[in-house]
Amino acid sequence: MFMKNIKTVFVAAAFLGAASLCAAQAETKTTLTKLHQSYEKQGRRALGMPEYGKRVQFPAVVVEASDSFGGTSLIRAADVRGSQELARLTPADDAQNQKMGEMRSGAKFTASCEVGFAMGSAFLTMKDCVIRP
């Protein structure tokens, strides 16, 4: 009886752990325009956005690809239906850094990023990004 209870507790703990991990990795599909509107609605303060600190997935187009002061790739991105820079994206890891460094202006892609801190700027900060063509 005691062993059966231990097995039940172990299985339940494993299930809850897996469910928590899936919830932590969940991302919301949206557009850069909607994210930027949310940012504007909060007076250009990302901290007030419901999406702040959460992962989001969106289609975008490269306005400009460059390197930041620290040598990390940086993509200035627009919504796929526009050309105005709405966000700046930084990579999640070295592989993404290389991939982002190879992107050219006008290239369309899908990004999965965490909405980062921004205040007062004209663009959103998107961090830990994973991009797919």
Q: Provide the pLDDT confidence category of residue 8 given band limits of 50, 70 and 90.
A: very low
Rounded Cα distance between 16 and 10, Å, is 10
Q: Taking Cα atoms as reference points, which of 93, 86, 92 lies closest to residue 59?
A: 86
SS3 73: strand
Q: Could you tell me the residue ranges of all domains in the chain?
A: 27-132
In the prediction, which pLDDT does 1 show? 52
CATH 3.30.465.10 holds for 27-132: no
Determine the pLDDT at residue 69: 79
Question: Has residue 13 got a pLDDT over 60?
Answer: no
- The pLDDT tens digits of the residues spanning 107-122 come to 999 999 999 999 999 9
Entry pTM: 0.79
pLDDT of residue 20: 36
